[in-house]
Amino acid sequence: MTFSIVARCPSSGALGVAVSTAVPAVGATCPYVRPGVGAVSTQSWVNPYLAIKALDLLAAGCTVREALDEVLRTDAQADMRQLGIVAENGTALSWTGKQCTGWAGECTGPDYAIQGNMLTGQETLDAMQTAFLRSVGMKFEERLLLVLEAGQANGGDKRGRQSASLIVYLDEPYPYLDLRVDEHADPVRELRRVFGVAVVQLLPFIESMPTGAGHAGVPTKEVRDMLMLPPSQRPGMPAIPPAQVDLLQTISGTDFTQDRVEANLHAFRPILAEIHKLRELDLANIHPAVIFDPTAPWRGSDK
């Protein structure tokens, strides 16, 4: 019920997973990454223990083939599972069980495994593979997001859309980037928006955190000053269209102060979108205008 990529960056050694599905909170169940070891996406009828055990086996020195064969051997329902695995050396494999809901399949190559089930068709995975191969040289996290966007633009989950996730680890035991859209009508698009904010506001902070190599973890003055600002005033935040503010204040009957506008827009945005949609509707062909003529009773019967 998912399409995903697990991959390694050959230049930095970063490991990551990008995944989307039509079930809530895909980032909580499918992707598993262990820096310096590998990355796994466990999907279809998810068995988290397959990913956990596969990473344990890779850490113990097993090859990707040995790890995949062993975890499947120990799962009585292996034919219902789908897995993508990449090791820290770039070796990658996928598994699609015979009982995975169609359309289901995978494609792999050096540094990546792409897989999906309950998809509209092969074109979803083909587009994802093309996006990964054509984006060589770009930042790793951007490549993963481009792959996810290509999958969504070329079919994706045939049931629809609900959640998406992007997770990347570098050398540290904590993630460099861990973004999740848990319930949304267009989760991959929303993930792109959140990613844009994170690149400007989050990653400079992450890059200043303490490291295992002994970096003290003191953010620069620029990072501290930025994060002391309210979110709406930080770089990377889109300007609020004046029309949205006007509509919010019209329906609420309240002239909000600037520091409350963004919070209230977030709360009322679905309602504002519906009101805007209704205002744009042309109902003339559905229900012609009814005109009340108060003189009708005094006019002749032929009128």
pLDDT tens, residue by residue, 108-147: 999 999 999 999 899 999 999 999 999 999 999 999 999 9
Residue 29's pLDDT is 95
Q: Answer whether residue 303 shows pLDDT above 60.
A: no
Q: Answer whether residue 198 shows pLDDT above 60.
A: yes
Could you report the per-residue pLDDT of 233-281, keeping only the tens digit for each? Answer: 788 766 566 677 777 777 777 777 666 766 676 667 677 777 777 777 7
Residues 78 and 123: beta-carbon distance below 8 Å: no
Q: Please, which pLDDT band fits residue 217 given cuts at 50, 70 and 90?
A: confident
Return the higher-pLDDT residue of 294 and 144: 144
Residues 148 and 157: beta-carbon distance below 8 Å: no
Helix ranges, the chain (H): 48-59, 64-73, 122-134, 140-153, 187-201, 203-206, 221-227, 242-252, 258-280
Residue 174's pLDDT is 96
What are the residues whose beta carbons fall under 8 Å from the beta carbon of 139, sequence distance 6 or more? Answer: none
Could you report the per-residue pLDDT of 5-48, keeping only the tens digit for each? Answer: 999 999 999 999 999 999 999 999 999 999 999 999 999 999 99
CA distances to 85, 116, 126, 246 from 121, rounded to whole Å, are 22, 9, 9, 44
Q: Nearest Cα to 121, choosing from 94, 93, 102, 99?
A: 102
Residue 59's pLDDT is 98
Residue 130's pLDDT is 97
Residue 1's pLDDT is 60
Could you report the per-residue pLDDT of 144-162, keeping only the tens digit for each? Answer: 999 999 999 988 767 778 9
CA distances to 11, 37, 209, 225 from 221, rounded to whole Å, are 30, 35, 14, 6
Query: 3-class SS at 21?
Result: strand
Tell me the pTM: 0.78
Lookup: tokens for 37: 């070891």
